[in-house]
């Protein structure tokens, strides 16, 4: 079903590319966990009081009484959304859109591989890369928590939070994948595949500010991440996860079908 030589090349390129984003997330994850210290937490609370609108817009508002609440509020409201999102749209551009836009897809199709096999290989490479990035960050977070605050982290909730985060980013990458498969030029991909995820987050920022703007949460995919429900132990987390998985699956499959059938500028 996949081209092993192409898959290996994709993964080597992806890992080299991923290390940059992993380093950024590892740094901020360790810093945020370190700041759970009461003195540093008081400093963050002062920032929240000084700039309540800004902190809310960035998703950094919520409970901070426990380590899992602290991590969810200060890491998963902004950094664990934005940084992986940038990685995903750049990776999809690298593995799909660039080949189509510059005409080098002809080189791949000249090999004994069908369109179906090539696009399936690219999609598997993208999905695995997204999962690997979040898993590695999860392991780093677990290690930092146990080193700095042994026994303070609710590991089950932390793993559940990151599992939902994986599904969210498969959905985000699915938007980029479908756009890369649909358009033949980078400008179309940038407008939709990059523009939509960023636009959804800008809407999320507005909805976080509350008031009448809170209704905007129904117009963005990022509110599907059930972080608060996981941390508080309330709400239907399974339903949210299933919804994100279905949307991601539909976007990936629809993109593949469109790519196989469309006319390519070869």
- Summarised one tens digit per residue, pLDDT across range 127-174 is 999 999 999 999 999 999 999 999 999 999 999 999 999 999 999 999
For residue 151, give its domain range: 4-261
Instruction: Tell me whether residue 30 is in a domain.
Output: yes
Is-contact 184 100, C-beta < 8 A?
yes
Exposed / middle / buried, residue 266 (Cβ in 10 Å: 0-12, 13-18, 19+): exposed
The structure's pTM equals 0.90
* 126 occurs within a structural domain: yes
Cβ 209 vs Cβ 57: under 8 Å: yes
Residue 26 and residue 48: Cα distance in Å, rounded? Answer: 24
Our measurement of the distance from residue 189's CA atom to the centroid of its chain's CA atoms, rounded to an integer in Å, reads 18
Cα 172 from Cα 186, distance rounded (Å): 18
227 token code pair: 């972080």
Q: What are the structure tokens assigned to 51, written together?
A: 């700039």
Residue 40 belongs to some domain of the structure: yes
* Per-residue pLDDT tens digits for 85-135: 999 999 999 999 988 887 777 777 777 778 899 999 999 999 999 999 999
Tell me the average pLDDT of the chain: 87
Q: Which two tokens stand for residue 127?
A: 């999905």
**Overall domain count for the chain:** 1
| Residue whose C-alpha is closest to residue 18's, from 169, 184, 145, 191 | 169
Give pLDDT, residue 54. 47
pLDDT of residue 93: 94
Q: Which residues of 171-194 are buried (b: 16+ CB within 10 A; e: fewer)?
A: bbbbbbbbbbbbbbebeebeebbb
pLDDT tens, 185-226? 899 999 999 999 999 998 888 887 766 777 887 789 999 999
Residue 117: partners with Cβ closer than 8 Å, 6 or more residues away: 1, 2, 3
Place of tokens 């370190």: 34
**Does the residue 244 lie in any domain?**
yes
Distance CA 140, CA 129 (A): 17
pLDDT band at 58 (very low <50, low <70, confident <90, very high): low
Residue 266 covered by a domain: no
**Calpha distance 197→93 (Å, rounded):** 14
């Amino acid at each position: 079903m996949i081209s092993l030589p192409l898959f290996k090349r994709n993964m080597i390129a992806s890992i080299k590319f991923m290390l940059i984003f992993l380093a950024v997330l590892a740094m901020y994850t360790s810093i945020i966990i370190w700041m759970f210290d009461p003195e540093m937490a008081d400093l963050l609370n002062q920032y929240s009081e000084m700039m309540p609108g800004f902190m809310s817009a960035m998703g950094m508002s919520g409970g901070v009484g426990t380590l899992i609440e602290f991590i969810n509020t200060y890491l998963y409201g902004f950094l664990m959304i934005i940084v992986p999102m940038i990685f995903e749209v750049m990776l999809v551009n690298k593995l799909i859109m660039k080949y189509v836009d510059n005409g080098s897809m002809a080189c791949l199709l000249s090999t004994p591989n069908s369109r179906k096999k090539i696009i399936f290989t690219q999609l598997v490479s993208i999905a695995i890369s997204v999962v690997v990035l979040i898993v590695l960050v999860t392991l780093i977070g677990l290690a930092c928590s146990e080193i700095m605050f042994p026994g303070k982290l609710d590991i089950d909730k932390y793993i559940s939070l990151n599992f939902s985060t994986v599904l969210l980013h498969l959905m985000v990458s699915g938007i980029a994948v479908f756009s890369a498969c649909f358009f033949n030029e980078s400008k179309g991909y940038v407008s939709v595949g990059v523009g939509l995820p960023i636009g959804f987050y800008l809407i999320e920022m507005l909805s976080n500010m509350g008031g009448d703007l809170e209704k905007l949460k129904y117009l963005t995919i990022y509110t599907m991440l059930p972080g608060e429900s996981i941390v508080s132990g309330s709400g239907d987390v399974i339903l949210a996860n299933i919804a994100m998985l279905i949307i991601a699956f539909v976007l990936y499959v629809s993109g593949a079908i469109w790519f196989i059938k469309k006319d390519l500028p070869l």
